[in-house]
Amino acid sequence: MSSDKARVDTNNEKYKLLISEEQIYRRVKELAHQISADYYNKCPILIGVLNGAFIFLSDLIREMNIDCEVDFVKISSYGGGRVSTGQIKAKKQFDSHVDGRHILIVEDIADSGRSIKFLEKMFVDTQPASLKFASLLLKEGNAVVDFKLDYVGFTIPTKFVVGYGLDFDQKYRNLRSIYVLD
């Protein structure tokens, strides 16, 4: 599967380009500048949600011009399929001391809101100075719980996507663009 094509085929499925590498780069740079301004002189801890957000987080912090720290959590609700099970499980807790700190949770995609609520509960007892959420993608009109994102890269239709960290059965994360199942 090549990331430079408008359409790609894999495992007898067809994917079409949804968001190009160039569009992603421009938007990540804009988000990084906004986050840098919002956290000026605060040294936030950016907590990436594994596995999907690692590429987005990596590109985001390289464009930021403030001091920050990085940590990760790992949660899962998919179990290898294309549809969330609705049950969120923590697979790795954060390691940083976050009490009283500014925390920015970095997600690859937000859809139902269940993951955001799960993460919010995970961090609320740490009494952070602030707790905000960034997501590269937001699936439009798919929420089943009320949630808030402070930074959103792109709003997309409720379709299955791969690339730029997003996977199907742990594959296709390496694509530089984002593709939608056709």
Record the pTM.
0.87
Q: Are the beta carbons of 139 and 157 closer than 8 angstroms?
A: yes
Q: What is the mean pLDDT of residues 72-76?
A: 89
Q: Are the beta carbons of 110 and 83 closer than 8 angstroms?
A: no
pLDDT digits 0-9 by tens, 29-64: 999 999 999 999 999 999 999 988 999 999 999 999
Q: Are the beta carbons of 165 and 51 closer than 8 angstroms?
A: yes
Q: Are the beta carbons of 21 and 178 closer than 8 angstroms?
A: no
pLDDT digits 0-9 by tens, 92-125: 667 777 889 999 999 999 988 898 999 999 888 8
Q: What is the pLDDT of residue 66?
A: 97
Sign of CA dihedral 61, 40, 31, 151: positive
Domains of the chain in sequence order? 20-76+88-157 (3.40.50.2020)
Q: What is the pLDDT of residue 181?
A: 84
Supply the residues annotated as catalytic: 111
Q: Is the peptide bond before 51 cis (omega within 30 degrees of 0)?
A: yes
**Is the pLDDT score of 91 beyond 70?**
no
Q: In whole angstroms, what is the distance from residue 43 CA to residue 164 CA?
A: 26
Q: Please provide residue 10's backbone torsions phi and psi, each rounded to the nearest 5 degrees.
A: -155, 140
Residue whose entry in the numeric block shows the structure tokens 């920015």: 104
